[in-house]
Structure formats: C-alpha cells, structure tokens
Amino acid sequence: MGLSLSELERYDRQMLIHGWGTDGQKQLKATKVAVAGIGGLGCPVSIYLAAAGIGKMILIDNEKFELNDLNRQVLCWQRDVGRFKVKVAKEKLELLNSEIEVKAVAAEITKDNVYDVIGDVDTVIDGQDNWKTRFIINEYCVTHNIPFIHAGVSVLHGQITTIMPGKGPCLRCIFPKDPPEAEKIPVLGATPALFASLQVMETVKLVTGLGRPLVGRMLFANGEEMVFETVEVKRNVECPVCADR
Ligand SMILES: [Zn+2]
C-alpha cells in the first residue's frame, strides 16, 4: 500500500518521528480500527485517528446528539443536535481527511450482535460510558485476539489500559466484579479529551511498534490534584474470560 504525494505532505510531521517514517505511515493506512461509542472519548479519538491517517475506521453508536453532549462531544456542533452521532461524525471526519475510509454503524453493541457490528478489525477503542457493554467488547476482543484500549472517565479523573489478549490482563481480570453503573456521569470535556489522546497514542504505538504499550499497566490521572500514576495490573489465572486462552 503506497502513499500519495498529498499523504506524504499531510503526514510529514509525524513521519519525522524516529521509528515512524513512510513504513509506519503505510502500516497506519493498512489498519482498521473500531471506535465503540462516539461520545466524550469517541469524538476526539476519531478526530485524532483521522488526522493521523488510520486507513479505516468503524464508528459505532446508536444515539443522537443532545444539547447536553456539547460540553465534551466535540464532533457535535449546535446545528447537529438531534442527528445520529455516527452520521455527523462520518461527515466531519471525511471533511478533515478524505484519504481515509469511515464507516458509520448506528447500533448498540449487544452480546448477540457484537460480531456483526465490530467485525474483523485490528484494534477496538473503548468509547463507552457503561461497564455492561465494555465487558461484552472485552470478551469479544479476547476471543478474537484483538487489542482493546480501555478508558473510563468522570469529573476530572480517569483511567486507561491496553488489553492485549494473551499478553496481559483483560478487563475482567482487572475488574472481577462489575463496577457500579452511573446513569449520568459528571464530567468536564477536557477529561475525556485527555484520555482520548492517550488512547490514540496507544493505538498508533501498537500499529507502528513505537514505544511500550500500556499492557499489564493501568494509568490513573487525577486532574484535581494533577497527579498521574501508573500501577501494575495482573492476569487472573482463574479469569472466566481469558484464563484458558
Ligand atoms: Zn481476564
């Protein structure tokens, strides 16, 4: 898969990164990523993936934008309130980068449809705001050996880890019991923006082989105290999802 002259110019600044070059850019172009949820995390994730030149993105969300999404879901402008998130996102991402392919899937991920909705991708990015769906995606990714980049945010804090099936713990190893669900999570828009940036960095690292991915480690950031901390997370040998894999 080659790069056009316009692509060489568009991605010039990132191809200058040591260890990236045209090879890294071609790898990105050949990569297919699913963004599961186009909310506070999914909007900036898909913007930066589009800007970086990820070849194909599958955007999954069944909701329409509401006015109270505007403080964080940056692909939604005032005129987009009431429209399907994935449709709006696809339009804008293609305006940002017409050299990539964006597929909009207006569906809610369930146990029954997860295979059809996510399908065969290289990486899945967590843009969910509920644990039930996260664990469905986690199981799907473990079963199909797909890296899953989890992040969760609220208020001014959050956490991120990269799940690499067989190489580190899965989400169920880390959270043996379902954490409590919140109906409405209080959050400042800059918080998911921060974690979305980290998710994109992890994605790009997995594709290009740059750096050390956040596998077996979880990064917590607390914006109130402005403290960032990384802790080791381990596989559970009795994990019901990944133990016998
Ligand atoms: Zn596990």
Distance from the CA of 124 to the center of ligand 1, in angstroms?
Answer: 17
Task: State percent of the chain over pLDDT 90.
Answer: 98
Structural contact between residues 139 and 133, judged by C-beta atoms closer than 8 angstroms? no
**pLDDT tens digits, residue range 57-68?**
999 999 999 999
Return the ∠ at Cα 206 (arms to 115 and 237), rounded to 5°: 65
Distance from the CA of 143 to the center of ligand 1, in angstroms?
Answer: 11
d(CA 191, CA 6): 33
**For residues 2-27, average pLDDT:** 97
Domains of the chain as residue ranges with CATH: 31-232 (3.40.50.720)
Distance from the CA of 28 to the center of ligand 1, in angstroms?
Answer: 28
Structural contact between residues 163 and 117, judged by C-beta atoms closer than 8 angstroms? no
Task: State percent of the chain over pLDDT 70.
Answer: 100
**pLDDT tens digits, residue range 148-188?**
999 999 999 999 999 999 999 999 999 999 999 998 999 99
109: CB partners within 8 A, 6+ apart: 36, 60, 117, 118, 133, 136, 137
**pLDDT tens digits, residue range 91-123?**
999 999 999 999 999 999 999 999 999 999 999
Supply the pTM of this predicted model: 0.98
Please name the amino acid found at residue 191.
T
d(CA 188, CA 156): 6
Distance from the CA of 198 to the center of ligand 1, in angstroms?
Answer: 22
Distance from the CA of 146 to the center of ligand 1, in angstroms?
Answer: 14
